Each structure stands twice: as C-alpha cells, then as structure tokens.
Structure 1
Amino acid sequence: MEVNKEVNPHFEDFLFDWDSKFYFLVGGYGSSKSYHVALKIILKLLAEKRTALVVRDVYDTIRDSCFSLFEEIVIDLGLDDKIRFVTSPMQIRFPNGSKIIFKGMDKPQKLKSIHNISIIWLEECSEIKYAGFKELIGRLRHPTLKLHMILSTNPVAKSNWTYKHFFKVPKIKDTMLYKQRIMRIGDTYYHHSVADDNYFLPYSYIEQLDALKAYDMDLYRIARKGQFGVNGTLVLPQFIVQSHTKVMNAVGDIPSRFLRVGMDFGFEDSYNAVLRIAIDDKRKYLYIYWEYYKNHMTDDATAVDLQEFAESRELIRADSAEPKTIKYYNQEGFRMIGAKKPPGSRTQNTKKVKRFKKIICSAECVHTIDELQDLTYAVNKDGELIEDEFSIDPHTFSATWYGLDGYEVADIKGSYKNYGLQTGKF
C-alpha cells in the first residue's frame, strides 16, 4: 500500500529505521516526536502483520492523547476507510490483521493477558516507574518477528530513571546527543528534537517558548532546549565530585577524631547505606570517601559484608529508630550507637550539612553521587519548599546525618550566598 506524507526532515531517518531494539526520543515541546512515533508505527503495521502495544502511566489519559493522534494521522493519510478504530476496549485494526492495543500502567494486571507483542511504545516514559519499564520489556516477545521498544519523553530531572538508564549506566554524555541529534549506541537509537525541527509549528509558538527564558529557566531548558537537568532547588549546591585519589590524599591529612561513619537501615524499598566521611574542621569541608549501599539484605548478611568494621572497631553512628538492629550488631562485635533524633532533627540535620562550604565526594561513591548531586527539595501544593522533604528518599543523606551526630558546623548567617545556595530560608 503506497502512502504519501510530508514529514519533518529531522525525523525521516527515524521513521524508516528498524535496526535497533530500543528507540529513545527526547525533546522539547512541539518538536513533533509523538506525531512521528505514531506515524512510524502506522507505516510498519501497514507493511507487516504485527501487534503493537501503546502504554502511558494512566490509562484514562490515552484516549485524548495517543488514540486521537493515531486517528488524526490515519484520516490525514486518507486511510480511515481501511483502518478501523474501536473505542471499547481501545484498539486500532488494520486490513492486514495488524492491530494496536492500549494499556495503562495504573492497571498492570491487564498486561498479563497480552501476547505476541513485537512493538511497544511508551509515551511520556518518564512518568512510568522503572519497574514498569522492566515489566514491559518482559512483555515484548514474538516467536519470529524482530522486537522493538520506542520510548518518548520531554526531558525531566537527571534523577529520573530514563536519564540513568539511557545515559548514566552506559556512561553516555547527554551533551553528545544534543550535539549529534541522532546517534546509535549498542542496541539503542537516540533521537533529540526541539521546536525548530517541526516545520509545521507556527512561529508564535516558538516565541512563547523563547519567552520562558526570562522567568522560568527550568521550564525553558525542558520546553525550549529539550535537555535534562535539575528540576527544582538543589539541597546541596556545594556538592562536587573528585577522583578517589585526590579525595583520599585530602582525607589522609585529617585527624582521626574527624573521621566518622554513618549508617541508615533499610530492606525492601529502602537501602542499608553506610558512609565513611571526613571533616576538614578548619576549612569546613566535608569529604565522603567510602560507601556501602544494598537492600534486600538481612542483618546477618549485612554483618558479613561489613565485617571489616567489627575487626577495626570503627564507631558507627546509626539510625536510633532501630534499637533492636543496633543491639544485634553490637552482639556481633560492632561498635555501634544510635544517633540522636529529637523532634525536628531532619530539618536541623539538613541545615548542618548545608553549612559546609564544600561537600567533596569520591568518584567511587556512585550511589552517593546518584542521590545527592541533583537532590532537590520537595514542594507543597503552593509551590513552596518543604525543608525536610526531598525529591527522592536519599539514604546516603541520612547516613551522612548520623555520621555527623555530635559535630556542629559554625552557623554564620548570611554567608551562604558566597557559595551559591539557592534558598535563604533556614
């Protein structure tokens, strides 16, 4: 079946490329990435008998987004007399037997009934949980056809799983994608787009995006430039990463009384996090130079992992909310005490860490970097910062709090602006 359609040149290669398993499209507002994903799937299902699955985080959002987008394209192609749209349940059926089905991750039980899916599109994939993404990979299977997963999103915070999975884990710089625009690494095809790539977009829309720069730089980065970054106010803007050798050279000059160990307990969704930290008391620098970070570990298994602490008799300051756990470790030969947790201690501990002029982390402490480098404050419904709540549950931050128990950083009011703190509320 011959189809004639004018498309944006930046998407021509993507439309007809089926050589990769994963397609990751990230871009700004109005770049037409969703439109071209839908068109790509339609063209493929016209050419081959396949079943495609389209997923969003919430099922009820699909009808007015993906489903209506497919319908718009089919009408524009003049194929609405051949391709049939069924609204209950939502399906699109092709004359050759191909079909598109739609599911929401808010009803995961319905995913179990689908079979022979060879193409999956995750629209606004950053809204879907990482566990859902992995579940969908398991649903992508067919006895003979090549398998493909397409993920599209506007960029969000670098703490989101999409950034970690497609950039951090494979150690790819996102700046390389912004420069090259299209690249293939391993089994993943990367595609970056902005509003300028959409030739059908009115210039007035682009002017609206440009205007964001004057009053909302976060949204400007996302909507206009289509780039990942930090969304919100950083908790620790003085956090930096240095090579392990450089950090250890600095730690070697710090008196032993300023070497601390902190531990946060966790099991299911949280983690056992242990940090070795060092305080440069004169310069008010905090060094983080060793980490342990695991979950689904029983106390006896963790004790084996941390045996060096029992042998060295290093004092561990731990979460006092777990006295039974602390007692167990003491019985196993560890020197462990509970850190003080009076009312309001979360806020006070956060302020204490923020008073360090620099927080210098070894490049080997990858989980600490992951949690603390881009950690932002949570906000309430009015958009106001919540001083003791954060964008994630940072277990290494709690371990740092406990490790610093009993140490006070000089509170010099008004000095924070000198090293770039983004909030003056303490």
Structure 2
Amino acid sequence: MDIEKEINPRFEDYIFNWDYKYYFLVGGYGSSKSYNTAFKIILKLLEEKRTALVVREVYDTIRDSCYSLLEEIIIDMELDDTIKCKTSPMQIKFPNGSKIIFKGMDKPAKLKSINNVSLIWIEECSEVKYAGFKELIGRLRHPKLKLHMILTTNPVSKGNWCYKHFFINKKKKRFILDDQDLYKQKTIVTKDTYYHHSTADDNYFLPQSYIDELDDIKTYDEDLHRIARKGEFGTNGLKVLPQFQKAPHHEVLSAIQAIKKPIYRVGMDFGFEKSFNAIVRMAIDDENKILYIYWQYYKNHMTDDKTAIEISEFKRTQELIRADCAEPKTIQYYNQEGFNMVGADKPTRLENTKKVKRFRKIICSEDCKDVIDELEDLTYATDKNDEIIEDEFSIDPHTFSAIWYGLDGYEVSDLKEHKYDDSVYKKGSGIKKESVPYKKAKVF
C-alpha cells in the first residue's frame, strides 16, 4: 500500500530518520515542527508495532493540540477507517497493534502504570519541568525495540532547562552545542541527539499574510519576534508585558466603542490578608489583537459580604465574572447572593502569561491605577544566577491573575503551529509529494 502526501523539504530527512535516541526540534511559530512530528510518529507506528506516549505539561491541553493534530493527519491520509481515534480514554489504535497514549505531567501518578513505551513525544517541552523530563527518560524502555524521544518547542530563555540540557549550561560548565551553529546549519547531530531548527520560511503551506503577521511582531515585542519569527533562544527582556500602555479614560472608552465586535470580559482574583480582591473589566478587539482594561476594583481585608455590597452593580448588570476556581465556596456564596460567577479553568502560570503576551497592545485606562501599578513595570523574577524564571514575577500581581481568569476560554490567535492548507500548494514551491510504502499494509 502506498500513501502520497505533500511534505516540506525541510522536514524530509527528519520524518524518515530513526537513527538516534533523541530528536530535539526548536523553531518559530508556524514552522510545522509539530505537524511533521505527528506525521513521523504515525508512519513509524504503521511500520512497527509500538506503544508511543505523547506528553504535555497539562493533560487538558492535549486534546486540542497533539491529539487533534494526529487525528487530522490520519483523516487526511484516509486511514481513519483502520486507525481508530478514541477520546475516552484518549487513545489512538493502529491495525497492527500499535497505539498512542496521552498523559499530562500534572498527573504524574498515572505515568507509573505505563509499560513498554518505546517512543515518547514531549510537546512544548520547555513547559515541562526538568524533573518531569528525567522521569520520562526512566519510562522509556522496551526489551527489544530501539528507543526514541522527540522533544518539540518554541525557544524560550536560555535559563530554561531544555537549553541548559541540550545546549549550554554555563553554571555547570557543560557545553553540548552552540545554538548559533544550529540556526546556521539547520540540522546537526551530536552523539545520540538529532537537532533540527525551523522557521515559518520552511513551511511552504503558509500564506504570506501569516508571515507578514509574524514580521509585525517586531514593532511591539522584540523578544516575542525573536521567538516567533526567528525561532531563537535568548535572554528575555525584564518586562513581562512590554506592549502595556496607559491612556486617558475617555480615549480608552472611545476606542472600545469603535470596535466592530467587542468581546467583553470580567475577571476576579480573591484575596484577604496580604493578597487583594481584584476585579477587572476588559474589552477585546479580536481583529486587531488589542486588550483594553477600563475598570478595576482592588481591596483587601474585606470579607465576602462587604465585598458583595461594594460590587453590587454586578448583580444588576448580571455580567459574567470568571473567578479563581480554587475558591469554590466563595464562588458559591456570590452566586447565592445573586451574582453571575463561574470558576475559570486554571492553566499554568506560564501558559496564562504567554496568552496575555500575544496581544499586540494592552491599553489600560489611567483610572485603573492599581492595574497600572502592578503591570506597567512588571518584571520577571530571577534566580541566583540572574536567569529569568518564566512563571514568577517580582511581585504578586493580583490584577494579572484577574486578567487570566477573565480571559478563560478566549484564545489570542496563537501564531504557533499552523495547519496545512493544500489550497496554497503551488507547482515549483519545492514541496515534495512522497510515496510511502508499507510492507505490512496487507493487514489493513
């Protein structure tokens, strides 16, 4: 049985290469590294009977990312009649006995039941803790089959464990590979690790408008441009939100009124002693990716009954307040008092921070003085080696948490892995259509 599929030339060698134990893929947004990794794994499991484990830091993020990507490719290859994708439990089964299972590092106990895993894919490996990575190495074992681990990521700071483990760790005087050499050569092999670098330029399926959008990032966030467009590691600037700016209240309201289809959100973070009850009203310009903050409430040493009185206007407006799900009793109290409040899902601090950073602009009313005080000069915390800690800050910004909760369920167009669009395939683009033979195809 032969299957024809168009592939980007940049990934041709990677897709069919299984000579090494580790495959480390780093690159910018839209480079198709995750897509081609999913394709690579499907081909391998069709060829050999294996159990593959797909991992992300948070299990709940897998279904809309890795799982849906694998399912999309299987359907595109017209193999969905033989390869079965199941969601409960989340699993993909192949006709030759191969299977793909999915786990989150936020539920480490469930890793203990895994046996005979010979292939692991860690998606967004920079978000997985180093201890989790080492735990997964121990789970990679099989009595007969060759072992492989694939790690895919967008570049983050050089303080992240994946840079220190696979490139340079100055503190431990450990030198594996100069990342600048990888950006120049694109593919490098050192001992048992295959390194691969890619950018949006390597993905012939991307429309020019997407490239232009990536280029535009440089106008408002140079650090994000380095990550998203150039696909390079670096030391992030100290400011968490370099695109944050303040404006007179009337100008913010006028700008919101000019939005064609504004999305209004309210978020609340609970506090009492040292922390604060923080509420923010926001409006989103989804087309231009601008977040407006135009109202705040910020107080501590307030019991719930007193706070309920001070924010009673929300009972009249019945605006939906998305709040910290870690306080179910508090949320229940407010609902009993007539408020419209729900608990927001709780992705990691790093994921929430990345989401907010994707806005081109964050414009805050000058009336929201506590928001400005916390966010205008919010900086990353650093460790004793002056390396940035990507999910910790110089202060505990309660208004930032309120924004996270308020944005629950909304996604700023994540310019990351872009789905293939065969309609943009053009003759002479360099895309190759490969025939992949399967000797075991008869079992279909």
TM-score category of the 2 structures, normalised to the smaller one:
0.5 to 0.7
Residues of 1 paired with 2:50 and 2:181: CA distance?
Answer: 34
Match of 1:183 in 2: 188
Residues of 1 paired with 2:60 and 2:381: CA distance?
Answer: 26
Q: Can you list the C-alpha shifts for 1:16-46, whole angstroms capped at 9, x where unaligned? A: 0000100000000000000000000000000
- AA partner of residue 38 (structure 1): A
Residues of 2 paired with 1:148 and 1:170: CA distance?
Answer: 23
Residues of 1 paired with 2:81 and 2:113: CA distance?
Answer: 29
Conservation of the 8 A alpha-carbon contact between 2:239 and 2:377: no
1:149 counterpart = 2:149: yes
Residue 170 of structure 1, CA deviation: 3.3
Residues of 2 paired with 1:386 and 1:224: CA distance?
Answer: 24
358, 381, 385: which one aligns with 1:391: 381
Alignment of 1:326-365 (within 5 A): none
Match of 1:97 in 2: 97
1:224 counterpart = 2:236: no
Alignment of 1:228-377 (within 5 A): 228-233=233-238
Call closer, same or farther: CA 1:171–1:49 in 2, change over 3 Å.
Answer: closer
Residue 119 of structure 1, CA deviation: 0.3
Match of 1:338 in 2: none
Match of 2:209 in 1: 204
SS in 2 for 1:224: helix
Q: Can you list the C-alpha shifts for 1:243-294, whole angstroms capped at 9, x where unaligned? A: xxxxxxxxxxxxxxxxxxxxxxxxxxxxxxxxxxxxxxxxxxxxxxxxxxxx
Residues of 1 paired with 2:175 and 2:193: CA distance?
Answer: 11
Residues of 1 paired with 2:206 and 2:386: CA distance?
Answer: 45
Structure 1: tracts of 5 or more residues without a match = 236-378, 398-426
Match of 1:114 in 2: 114
- AA partner of residue 12 (structure 1): E
- AA partner of residue 220 (structure 1): H
Residues of 1 paired with 2:97 and 2:236: CA distance?
Answer: 44
Residues of 2 paired with 1:165 and 1:18: CA distance?
Answer: 21
Call closer, same or farther: CA 1:130–1:223 in 2, change over 3 Å.
Answer: same
Residue 234 of structure 1, CA deviation: 8.3
Structure showing greater relative contact order (alpha-carbon pairs closer than 8 Å, 6 or more residues apart)? 2
Match of 2:312 in 1: none
TM-score by length of 1: 0.57
Residue 86 of structure 1, CA deviation: 1.0
Residue 386 of structure 1, CA deviation: 4.8
- AA partner of residue 218 (structure 1): D
Residues of 2 paired with 1:391 and 1:92: CA distance?
Answer: 41
Residues of 1 paired with 2:6 and 2:186: CA distance?
Answer: 21
Match of 1:135 in 2: 135
Residues of 2 paired with 1:227 and 1:45: CA distance?
Answer: 31
Residue 126 of structure 1, CA deviation: 0.2
- AA partner of residue 126 (structure 1): S
SS in 1 for 2:45: helix
Q: Can you list the C-alpha shifts for 1:217-259, whole angstroms capped at 9, x where unaligned? A: 1011000000000122289xxxxxxxxxxxxxxxxxxxxxxxx
Match of 1:163 in 2: 163
Structure 2: tracts of 5 or more residues without a match = 169-173, 241-356, 358-369, 388-444
Call closer, same or farther: CA 1:48–1:99 in 2, change over 3 Å.
Answer: same
Residue 205 of structure 1, CA deviation: 0.2
Identity of aligned residues (%): 69
SS in 2 for 1:158: coil
Conservation of the 8 A alpha-carbon contact between 2:227 and 2:233: yes
Residue 3 of structure 1, CA deviation: 1.9
Residues of 1 paired with 2:383 and 2:189: CA distance?
Answer: 34
Match of 2:342 in 1: none
Match of 2:254 in 1: none
Match of 2:14 in 1: 14
- AA partner of residue 176 (structure 1): D
Match of 2:126 in 1: 126
TM-score by length of 2: 0.55
Match of 2:199 in 1: 194
